[in-house]
Structure formats: C-alpha cells, structure tokens
Structure 1
Amino acid sequence: MSDLIGRYVAETVRHLSASERIDVSRELEANIQDMVGEDGSEEHIEQVLLDLGSPSDLAKQYRGKARYLIGPDTFDFYWMVLKLVSLVVGIVTVVISLISLFFSATPMNLGTMIAKPIGSLFSALASAFLWVTISFAIMDHYQVNATSERWDAKALHSLEEAPTRIIKKSDSIADMVGLSVFFLLLAVLLSKPELIAIYRKDAAAVPLFVGSALQPFIIGWMAATILSFIVSALKWFKGRWTPTLFVLSASADLLGIVYFIFVVTRWQLYNPAFLTLFPGSMTRWQIIIKAASVVLLILTLIGNGDDAYTVFRKTRPDEAAPAPRR
C-alpha cells in the first residue's frame, strides 16, 4: 500500500471513535485500492485521494448517522469546544468555590459546604453550554466557517506529519486547566498577598513576601499566564506541531521562566522576618534560589529542545522527494 494512502487512511479514521477505526480502515483501504486499479503511479494515487475529499469530510460519511444539533458542518468543532470550555469552567468553578468556603467568615454546616460547590458547578456548566451553543448557532446561521479546512495537493502531502507531530489534545487540555487554576491562584494572591505565610498557633502569621511590593509583579505574571493559555489553546486547536506553533510555544515558555526568575530574584520582595525563622543567612538563600532558577531554566530548554526535535527532524525516508504537484 502506498505510503500516501496509509497516511490518508490514518488521518481519516482519527476523526472516528476507537470502535469504528479498524473496520473503517480496512474498508477504506480496499476502496482506495479498487479506485487506484492498475495505475499505481504517485500522480494517479494523489488524484484519487484528492477526489475523495479531505479526511475529516470523508469521516463524516462513515459515522452512519448525521448530527444536527448545530449543523453537520460545524458540529464536530462545536462539540470539541464545548467539552473543553466545560472542563476548564468546571474545574475553575470548583476551585473558586472551595477557596471561598475556606476563607468564609460565616460558619456553615456540612450540607451547605457540599451543596454550594455543586450548585455553583451546575450553574457554571449551564452558562458554558448556553453561550457556546448560542455562539455556534450564530456562526451556523451566518455560515461562518469555523474550521477553515483547505484540501489540495499540499494538504494531502502534509499528512505525513501526523504520525510523529500530533499534539495530544489531553496534554493541551491539561495545560489549559493548570494555567486556569494558576491564574486563579494569582488573582487570589493579588488581593491577599499575605496568604503565603507561616501560620503559628500562638502567634501572628509571618508572610513570605512584602505584599505591597509583590502585587505589581503578580500583574505581569498574570499577563504571562494568559499568553501561555492562548498558546496552549492554539496547540489544542491545531492538533499538530508546525514551525510557527513551535516558535510561539517556545517563546511563551521562555518568557514565563525568565519572568519567574526575574521575580524570585528581587530580594526586596522577601519579608526579612520570614527568613529569620530558618537557619542560614540571606546570602545562602540567594544561592539556593539562583540554583533552583538555573535548574528550571535548563529543564525548560530541554523541553523546548525535545519539541524542536519533534518539529524539525526528518521522520520519513521520502521527505526529500519532489514537491507535490499543484
């Protein structure tokens, strides 16, 4: 079987459920081989696959039934966005509810402590469903193409990137959820910077930072977190590495770690009373913080190097073949 056919089939079944993929893969391979016939030239195979249409459109024909909640052309993208938004909104809502319960000045019984997060979660998920559905209904009404998929010879040959350069959606979703929770914690810290402290039973809490000095840096940290969230959303939306996406991802990672190092090495931010609770001079703590910062920077560079290897390495022996016919 032609390598190009194999990549086309793999990309098509990727849009189907796991239970359908084996049968559809066999059927589609047999159908394509029948269409190719005796002429096994690369040009003929390319034309057959172009005539079949894009893998995502072909996958819709194999599902066995149409979906009409929003519209068959945009339903898959709508469903994917709805699941992502619901997951992020749900986790952030639960975290906010738990934090509000922890810092509530009003005593609550166990029933209220359980019912309040559940009620907030249901309300947040209902709002997410409502606004995502309304947005896609409007897009469908005005025939806005949300996927902007192009299908030509260049797109066909680009399928060779899929087996090695796919970005797992679970990884992107985990990044977005983590960044959302971290942004929430930064927002809490912005309003109450004294929360990071040592709490003692018979004495006042000793904050780690000087609150008024830390707050301006938290705003910059929140901006860097938003940028990282946008890049993670792009990785989730694209689903595979491209050189441009790698540059954006690496830049966001480096910006985040450099800003982190910049903040933690502002020695005026630390509360002297906090440091006196531990053995060692300020010079010793500076050495520890600098060493930890170097380790984090090295780990970030290693991660970016691994991504660069995935994006730019030659993964197939035929990648040096002539450019696809246009």
Structure 2
Amino acid sequence: MHKLISRYIAETVRHLKAEERVEVEKELEANILDMLPENPSDNEVEQTLLSMGSPSSLAAKYRGSERHLIGPATYDTYVMVLKIVTLVVSLVTLVFTTLSFFLSPSGLSIFEMVAKALASIFSGASGAFLWVTITFALLDRYQVKTDIKEWNLPELRSLEEIPTKEIKKKDSIADLVGLSLFFLFLGFLYMNSDLLGIYTKDGEPIPLFIGTSLRPYLIGWMVTTTIAFFVAMLKMVRRRWTKPLLGFSATSDLLGVFYFFFIATRWQIYNPDALLFFNLAIEQWQIIIKAAAVVLLLLTLFSIGEDTYTTLKRTEPDESGKVPVR
C-alpha cells in the first residue's frame, strides 16, 4: 500500500477511540483502494486523498457526534490526561496530608484525620479536573483559531513527516506526571515550608528556608510550572513537532531554568542555621548554586537543540517539494 495512504489512515484513526480504530482502518483502506485504479500513480493517490478531506474532518464523520466543550480531535487525549493527573494529584495529596499529621501533630483523632485526608483528596482531584478541563478547552479553542488550514497538497504531503517528528506519548505522560508532582510539592512547600528541613535524633528540626521570604517566590514558580504543564498538554495533543510548538517548548524550558536561577540566588531565603549545619559559608553555597544553574542551563540547551534538529532537519522537504527517503 502507498506510504501516503498509510499515513492518511493512521492520522485519521488517531482521532477515534481505540476500540473503533481497527474496524475503521480496514473500512477506510478498502474505500480508498476502491477509488483508485489498479496501479495508481503518486498524483492519483494524492488527488484521491485530497478529495476525501482532512483526516480530522473525516474522523469527525466516523464519530457520528460532536462534543462541545472539548472537541473530538482532543477528547480522547483529554480523558487520558485527566485520569493521569487526577490519580497523581490524589496519591500525592494523600501522602503529603499523611506526612503533615506525623511531622506536625495537631491532636486530631483518627476519624478527624481520615476526614481531613478525604477532604484534601477531593479538593485536589476537583482542582485537577478544573485545571485540565480549562486547559484543554483553551487548547481546543486555540485549534479552532489557528489549526483549521486549507486541505491541500502541502498539508497532505506533510503527513509523511510524522514518523520522525513524532512526540512519543510516554514522554508527554512523563512530563505531565512530573510537573503535577512538582506543582503539588510547591504547594506543600508554600503551606508547610518549615517541614522541609534537617531532622536529627537530638534537637529540633532545622528548616532549610525562611518561610516568609520564600513564599512570594513560590507563587511565581507555580506559574512557570503551570505554563510548562500547558505546553506538555499541547505536545500530547499535537503529537508531532512543529515550529510554533518548538518555540513554545523552548520558551517554557528557558523560563523555568532562569526562574530557578533567580530564586536560588535570593540568598535571604536560606536559613543561616541550615548552612552552618553543613559547615558551608554563604560564599561557598553561592558557588555551588551557580554551578548547578550552569549545568542545568547546558542540559536544557542540549535538549532544545535536539528538539530543534528534529523539527527543522528531519524529513525536511527539498526544493522539489518531495520528502526525502529516510
């Protein structure tokens, strides 16, 4: 079967539910082959696929119904992300709430602890639902405004670029889980900054940070994490690298690195007693922080460079407009 037909079918069934894909794939392949002569030329294949409409519009016809808040093109991804984020948020909220009971005794009875834990889980899961739903609604609106393009020959040929420019689902899921955990950690640190400290057998815990100085910076860090989460969702929805997506991703990554460097060099947030515990002067601590920031920046630039190469170089059409053989 012609490679372009395979890509067209794969792109179409990607928008459908998993249990529908095999049957639709077989039906769609049979319909396309029936429309073509026995040994079709490349031009005949292209014209036939153009006449069928874009993969997203064809998939909508197979669905038979439209969803309004979250569009059909992103609904399956929305459900998957919602399940992942809700599960992660619920588990981490339960862990942090339980730790708070032991690290900061409040004199609550066991029933009050269970009730408080369940209330925290419900609150966290509700927040996750609201966060993910609003984000995907905005993504869907973004697609409506910018993603509806004329279904033409360049758009058809661009389907051939998907295999090498594809963003792996497991990478997107790992990003979403990691960012969710980090956001919850920041929230926990904002509410209980004194619990993050040095614990010894003898004596009171030594907090690593001065809570009143740290909290204002944590709000900004939550904002940058939310932006990164939005970009990770966008990657999962798009599933392949494009120049605009590369720009969003690189900007988000650099924003996170520079904000980390900004916070880490606010020397007034560190508890002097914690630095003395490690026998480190503030000057030595500054050198360690700056070195860590440089290493993190280099790793981020390397990752951005790899994504740039994937986006701009791999399967880039030559001057004739044909996609090179891989």
Tell me the amino acid that sits aligned with residue 83 of structure 1.
M
Contact (CA 8 Å) 1:167, 1:236: kept in 2 or not? yes
For residues 227-266 of structure 1, the aligned pairs below 5 Å read 227-266=227-266
CA contact (8 A) 1:241 1:311 kept: yes
1:295 counterpart = 2:295: yes
Q: Work out the CA distance in 1 between the residues paired with 2:313 and 2:81.
A: 31
Partner of 2:100: 103
| Matched position secondary structure for 2:277 | coil
Partner of 2:184: 184
Give yes or no for the alignment of 1:167 onto 2:143.
Answer: no
* Paired position in structure 1 for 2:140: none
| Structure 2 residues without counterparts, runs of 5 or longer | 137-142
8 Å Cα contact 2:190/2:218 also seen in 1: yes
RMSD of aligned residue pairs (Cα, Å): 3.9
Tell me how far 1:278 sits from its aligned partner.
1.7
SS of equivalent to 2:204: strand
The residue that corresponds to 2:87 in the other structure is 90
Counterparts in 2 of 1:127 and 1:86: CA distance versus 1, 3 Å:
farther
- 2:51 is the alignment partner of 1:51: yes
Deviation at 1:294, TM superposition (A): 1.4
8 Å contact from structure 1 (residues 11, 162) kept in 2: no
2:77/2:237 contact within 8 Å kept = no
Over residues 281-307 of structure 1, what are the superposed CA-to-partner deviations in whole Å (9 max), with x where a residue is unaligned? 333332222222211111111111111
Determine the C-alpha separation between the residues in 1 that align with 2:99 and 2:132.
31
Query: How do 1:23-172 residues align onto structure 2 when only pairs under 5 Å count?
Result: 28-29=28-29, 31-37=31-37, 40-59=40-59, 74=71, 77-104=74-101, 105-109=106-110, 150=149, 152-153=151-152, 154-172=154-172
**Which residue type is aligned with residue 320 of structure 2?**
A
How far apart, in 1, do the equivalents of 2:230 and 2:47 lie? 37
Kindly provide the CA deviation profile for residues 179-222 of structure 1, in whole angstroms up to 9, marking residues without a partner as x.
Answer: 22222221222233222211223312111122222222212212
Task: Indicate how the Cα distance of structure 1 residues 160 and 76 shifts in structure 2: closer, same or farther if over 3 A, else same.
Answer: closer
Name whichever of 97-106 and 46-55 sits farther off: 97-106
Distance (whole Å) between structure 2 residues aligned to residue 126 and residue 231 of structure 1: 21
- TM-score under structure 2 normalisation? 0.77
Tell me how far 1:312 sits from its aligned partner: 0.6
Q: Structure 1 residues 40 and 321, CA, compared in 2 at 3 Å: closer, same or farther?
A: farther
Q: CA separation of 1:147/1:122 partners in 2, compared to 1, >3 Å: closer, same or farther? A: farther
The 1:67–1:123 alpha-carbon spacing in structure 2 relative to 1, beyond 3 Å, is farther
Contact 2:164 2:314 in 1 (8 A): no
Mapped to 2, the partners of 1:131 and 1:273 lie a distance apart of: 38
Question: How many residue pairs are counted as aligned between the two chains?
Answer: 312
| 1:321 alignment counterpart | 320
Aligned sequence identity (%): 46
1:200 is paired with a residue whose SS is coil
Q: CA deviation at 1:156?
A: 1.5
Distance (whole Å) between structure 2 residues aligned to residue 149 and residue 292 of structure 1: 43
- Separation in 2 of the partners of 1:117 and 1:166? 40
What is the DSSP-based 3-state SS (H/G/I as helix, E as strand, rest coil) of the residue aligned with 1:276? Answer: helix
Distance 2:96 2:183 in 1: 14
CA 77–17 in structure 1, closer or farther in 2 if over 3 Å, else same: closer
The TM-score with structure 1 as length reference comes to: 0.77
Separation in structure 1 between the aligned mates of residue 158 and residue 195 of structure 2, nearest angstrom: 51
